Amino acid sequence: MIGILIFPDFQLLDAAGPISAFEIAARCTGKTPAIRVLAVKPGLVRSSSGVEMMARDFKAANAITTLVVAGGVGVADAARCEVTRAFLQRLAKRGVRVASVCSGAYVLAEAGLLDGRRATTHWGRTRDFVARFPKVKFEPDQIFTRDDNVWTSAGISAGIDLALAMITEDHGEEIAQQTARQLVLYHRRSGGQSQFSSLLELKTPNGRFGALLSWARENLDAPLTVEDLADRAGMSARHFARAFAAETGTTPSKAIERLRLEVARERVQSSREAIELVAETTGFRDPERMRRAFIRAFGQPPQALRRAARVG
């Protein structure tokens, strides 16, 4: 049985997206959907859109094997709720698969379920989340993460990606593919959050290292090593690397690769420049190195993105 945990001012799609995916998957297997919506206070729970959803209290969770926690503007109060935190801790000890959608990761983190684990949340919350939960192994560019029996997903629609991955685990590839086709979605979305978040705001950076990143973006053909960046920032390499990670939620080398990826992707999709030239001028140097980076970040090589852009 699937449980969906909501709270006042939850994001409606955070709950409704996974609910629909799990419902369709159950029907594809010939079974009746077994889904329970849960809340601290049973009854109608108002979402941030004003639309209400009917919920049961936590006593209805006895039979659930998976719990998905929604996010939304009301997540701060939900994360501070002692009853909710204790409930999550009990389920985790019981071996229930626990997951979050978008900012629902804050609820899991406050309950201590993400300490020492890989996790993600909406790209716009990266800096705040990293600062508040330093024990979490935060991965800002993932659509979803799984660390043992604890899953987290990025913003809103990524909850459906997470649900499809769970459906694959529970029912196999064929049922997951049928579910995705019914939803008119990709079974596995290519790439990470960087394709939706302007590389975690590195494209138009602000904050302590904003000027440095803007300079780096204009000089991508330079080596741009950690030492180079630290020297320009007037800091030792070690201090710079630590301060940069604390500020941005990523390492200097990963930030530079993301900047290179964004600029290279723009040029691949909007121009007829040779792939080799794009690789050279954006600092990848080797076209094969750029191809591997594209596949890691976007799920496709440069040539495929160019063809798709021309078709569109």
In order, the DSSP letters of 167-229 are: HHHHH-HHHHHHHHHHHTS-SS--S-GGGTTHHHHTSS--STTHHHHHHHHTTTTS---HHHH
Determine the pLDDT at residue 25. Answer: 96
Domains and CATH numbers, the chain: 2-188 (3.40.50.880), 195-311 (1.10.10.60)
Cβ atoms of 240 and 213 within 8 Å: the answer is: no
Structure tokens at 71: 């996010």
Helix H or strand E segment including 253: helix 252-270
Cβ atoms of 17 and 179 within 8 Å: the answer is: no
Name the pLDDT band for 296 (thresholds 50, 70, 90). Answer: confident
**What is the spatial distance between Cα 197 and Cα 200, in angstroms, rounded to a whole number?**
5
Determine the pLDDT at residue 203. Answer: 40
Name the pLDDT band for 300 (thresholds 50, 70, 90). Answer: confident
Determine the pLDDT at residue 186. Answer: 57
Determine the pLDDT at residue 311. Answer: 54
Structure tokens at 45: 């729970």
Check whether 23 has a pLDDT greater than 90: yes
Residues labelled as active-site residues: 102
Cβ atoms of 168 and 129 within 8 Å: the answer is: no
Determine the pLDDT at residue 250. Answer: 80
Determine the pLDDT at residue 189. Answer: 54
**What is the spatial distance between Cα 82 and Cα 151, in angstroms, rounded to a whole number?**
21
Determine the pLDDT at residue 188. Answer: 54
Name the pLDDT band for 206 (thresholds 50, 70, 90). Answer: low
- How far lies 146's CA from each of 89, 103, 114, in Å? 18, 16, 11
Cβ atoms of 66 and 99 within 8 Å: the answer is: yes
Determine the pLDDT at residue 298. Answer: 77
Q: What is the pLDDT of residues 56-108, one digit of tens each?
A: 999 888 899 999 999 999 999 999 999 999 999 999 999 999 999 999 999 99
**Residue 203 burial by CB count (10 A; 0-12/13-18/19+): exposed, middle or buried?**
middle
* Mean per-residue pLDDT over the chain, rounded: 88
Determine the pLDDT at residue 204. Answer: 40
Determine the pLDDT at residue 22. Answer: 96
Cβ atoms of 37 and 55 within 8 Å: the answer is: yes
Contacts of the segment 169-175: beta carbons below 8 A, 24+ positions apart: 170/25, 171/25, 171/28, 171/29, 175/25, 175/28, 175/29
Determine the pLDDT at residue 201. Answer: 47
Average pLDDT value for residue range 262-275: 89
Q: What is the pLDDT of residues 106-152, one digit of tens each?
A: 999 999 999 999 999 988 888 899 999 999 998 876 888 899 999 99
Among 202, 73, 217, residue whose Cα is nearest residue 141: 202
Q: What is the pLDDT of residues 154-199, one digit of tens each?
A: 878 889 989 999 999 999 989 998 998 888 775 555 445 544 444 4
Neighbouring C-beta atoms of residue 70, cutoff 10 Å:
32
**What is the spatial distance between Cα 299 and Cα 285, in angstroms, rounded to a whole number?**
20
Determine the pLDDT at residue 139. Answer: 84
Name the pLDDT band for 236 (thresholds 50, 70, 90). Answer: very high
